[in-house]
Amino acid sequence: MRIGIINYGLGNVGSVLNSFKFYRHDVTLITNPKGLETIDVVILTGIGNFNASVSRLKEFHFWDKLNEEVLIKKKPVIGICLGMQLFADVSYENALNNGFGWIKGKVIRINSSSIKVPHIGWNEAMPKNSKMFLGLQDNFFYFMHSYHFVPEDGDVIAATTKYGDVEMVSAVQRDNIVGVQFHPEKSQNNGLKFLRNCLEVIV
């Protein structure tokens, strides 16, 4: 199994690469869309602005190729943080922007007067019968975000997280598509085990 992490300049690819190398996986950075044809699993990371990520993926010609690999060829994909948010139909970050639409839903700002935004730090993911969380010491992961994904179909929700009075989706899964709002690569042993479980679930 060969794992490819898309390197488009807006993701924490170095730490993610090292996380997969920990279990001696065959993992590489993908710098051009043709490289997607040589791998078995796609990792889509992202840090920062939704619209900037969409623009960069299109600029480097990843956008249409990703749709082909994920939707037509059904290649497994794992989205991390903003990478998961890109699965949505739309995001309301700064302005209305279209995502891939792989999982129906929208990305909205965390809205509460009782908590700090962005949401930064360790928090608990509460799984909904998902094998991705099996064998973990606990379900605490590292978060860093101001916006969150609201899917239309509750059946795709693999885990939720409470932040103050807001309950957010922290993991989604549908067929060959998995996404997490937290950062497994920053979540120490739990993050490493979670990534290993993800591969077992979707491959």
- Could you tell me where the DSSP H helices lie in the chain? 13-21, 50-59, 63-67, 82-85, 188-202
Main-chain dihedrals φ then ψ at residue 20, nearest 5 degrees: -75, -30
d(CA 88, CA 105): 5
Catalytic site residues? 81, 183, 185
Give me the amino acid identity at 180: V
Main-chain dihedrals φ then ψ at residue 173, nearest 5 degrees: -150, 130
In this structure, the dihedral spanned by the alpha carbons of residues 181, 183, 189 and 194, taken in order and rounded to 10 degrees, is 40
Give me the amino acid identity at 175: D
Tokens of 9: 């300049």
